[in-house]
Structure 1
Amino acid sequence: MTFSDQLKQKAEPILQEIYQHPFVKGIEDGTLPKEAIKFYVQQDFLYLNAFVKIYAQAITKSTTREDMDFFQEQIHFTLHSETIAHQNLCQVAHLSLDQLKDGALAPTTFMYQQHMLEQGRDGTMLDILAGLIPCPWTYWEIGKHIMNRTPSLEGHPFRDWIEFYGKYGSEDMTFAEELFRRLDEKAQGATKNELNHAEKVFLKSCELEWRFWEMSFYQEDWKFNSLIKIH
């Protein structure tokens, strides 16, 4: 069993909870409330800013031009293609994407950003990949899950979002599969302690993915938010 297979097996309970989360179910059945959409899009835009930064950190720790080129492509994808999914949500909720790009980080978004950026700052390439992968992997799995459960997406309000993440890559290999392949390459030369640490990083990111849906559905905020606004 590969290292990535072990990680996916351990994260399966979290993935199952994500499938059943009311936010994800709301996407599946097309009933997601407008306020949840608004909160999610704003926070996801802010979260992805950190995603771009950790790709940049990965470039500084890359030892081959092939790796550098791969992460550079992901920066471009995140900055320019990820908005397709955001636009679909905004269209359904009659919101302006441009107006949702400014705001303060909610607690879970802040925690998730710090977790990822810590791997980029202090971790190895194995840690960086372990921290990054749960986001594209769980979204890919959500997209596939909904597509498998929905005979036809014709007329579905969130069709673009579902298909965007359900395919999420080329016909030969999805983005998540490519990241897992790279993770397994780095794992081959890692010590047991390094693998254990990477596993903890991966599972923490998986739980933070679940928390992101939770935060968005219930519009989590700082308890004393008039005093705390993190940008």
Structure 2
Amino acid sequence: MNPAVSLPDFPLAPPNSLFARLRQAIAEDWLAYTQHAFVQQLGRGTLPEAAFRHYLIQDYRFLIHFARAWALALVKADALEDMRLAATTISALLEDEMRLHVRYCTRWGLSEAELEAAPEARANLAYTRYVLERGFSGDVLDLQVALAPCIVGYAEIGRTLHQQFAEDLSQNPYREWIETYAGEAYQQVARNAIIHLDRLAARRLTEARFPALVETFRQATRLEVAFWDMGLEMAW
């Protein structure tokens, strides 16, 4: 762990949870991700629209691979409870979240055809393939640790932005994005992911294995930082 770097409280993750331990172990990288300039500009409503549109396109492409990762989690699962969770998540991603994403993008002038035709940016390729690689080469705990920065990190970001910029949110063009991830429905998704990690850890985690999981979590978090960089710079 890195006790020299102080992280803000995140009430969804109990201090002794695996997620909280991983988060503290990579504190500097975690702050670089959750307090990135892209995130701060979102919160202030000053993010250029072109940068947000570029991010939305890549996020749609990301969701496709996210669903594939959860399909792999189903294959890797060794408990029916975990299989059911994976199956429910896959259905929610393909039938609900991606459709909501398309409708949201339409309001920003992006058609479904444009989303489907867009090439993947290098940062997107690097991140999604890393997560899948951890799933293929490791077990279901490796995969869920690689997925956790996205699932839980967005909940922390949404919650923080909603609190930090509450007074000005009504005038923020990105209000809906912030409220989605700050909302109770998504906060519960993150809470469930934290609990799921602990359930997997109870069966699979040893202290000897913990440093390797930290490195997986760190790499996935750094790839999240690169994803924000990509959006801010509109890079391909």
Relative to the length of structure 2, the TM-score reads 0.83
Where does residue 194 of structure 2 map in the other structure?
180
The amino acid across from 1:30 in the alignment is G
> 2:173 and 2:17 mapped to 1: Cα distance?
38
* Contact 2:145/2:213 (8 A) holds in 1: yes
Where does residue 211 of structure 1 map in the other structure?
226
Structure 1's 43 and 54: CA in aligned 2 closer, same or farther, altered over 3 A?
Answer: same
SS of residue matched to 1:132? helix
Structure 1 position 10 matched with structure 2 position 10? no
The amino acid across from 1:179 in the alignment is A
> 1:13 and 1:55 mapped to 2: Cα distance?
28
Of 158, 164, 170, which aligns to 2:174?
Answer: 158
Aligned length: 218
Q: What is the CA-CA distance between 1:42 and the residue it aligns to? A: 1.6
Query: How large is the RMSD of aligned CA atoms in angstroms?
Result: 2.2
> 1:26 and 1:85 mapped to 2: Cα distance?
21
SS of residue matched to 1:31? coil
SS of residue matched to 1:174? helix
Of 60, 76, 86, which aligns to 2:75?
Answer: 60
* Contact 1:84/1:161 (8 A) holds in 2: no
> 1:168 and 1:75 mapped to 2: Cα distance?
20
Where does residue 103 of structure 1 map in the other structure?
118
Q: What is the CA-CA distance between 1:175 and the residue it aligns to? A: 1.4
SS of residue matched to 1:212? helix
Q: What is the CA-CA distance between 1:10 and the residue it aligns to? A: 2.2
The amino acid across from 1:64 in the alignment is A
* Contact 2:29/2:222 (8 A) holds in 1: yes
SS of residue matched to 1:220? coil
Where does residue 169 of structure 1 map in the other structure?
185
Of 144, 159, 174, which aligns to 1:144?
Answer: 159
Q: Which moved more, 1:1-10 or 1:102-111?
A: 1-10
Q: What is the CA-CA distance between 1:147 and the residue it aligns to? A: 0.7
Structure 1's 182 and 38: CA in aligned 2 closer, same or farther, altered over 3 A?
Answer: same
Structure 1's 25 and 90: CA in aligned 2 closer, same or farther, altered over 3 A?
Answer: farther
Structure 1's 218 and 88: CA in aligned 2 closer, same or farther, altered over 3 A?
Answer: same
The amino acid across from 1:204 in the alignment is Q
SS of residue matched to 1:169? helix
Structure 1 position 46 matched with structure 2 position 53? no
* Contact 1:120/1:128 (8 A) holds in 2: yes
The amino acid across from 1:9 in the alignment is Q
Where does residue 217 of structure 2 map in the other structure?
202
Structure 1's 138 and 214: CA in aligned 2 closer, same or farther, altered over 3 A?
Answer: same
Structure 1's 131 and 60: CA in aligned 2 closer, same or farther, altered over 3 A?
Answer: same
Q: What is the CA-CA distance between 1:216 and the residue it aligns to? A: 1.2
Residue-by-residue CA offset, 1:56-79 (whole Å, 9 max, x unaligned)? 011111122221111111112222
Where does residue 127 of structure 1 map in the other structure?
142
Structure 1's 46 and 95: CA in aligned 2 closer, same or farther, altered over 3 A?
Answer: closer
SS of residue matched to 1:81? helix
Residue-by-residue CA offset, 1:118-170 (whole Å, 9 max, x unaligned)? 12212111101101111011111110111101234334322211111112637
Structure 1's 15 and 179: CA in aligned 2 closer, same or farther, altered over 3 A?
Answer: same
> 2:234 and 2:180 mapped to 1: Cα distance?
24
Q: What is the CA-CA distance between 1:202 and the residue it aligns to? A: 1.1
> 2:184 and 2:221 mapped to 1: Cα distance?
18
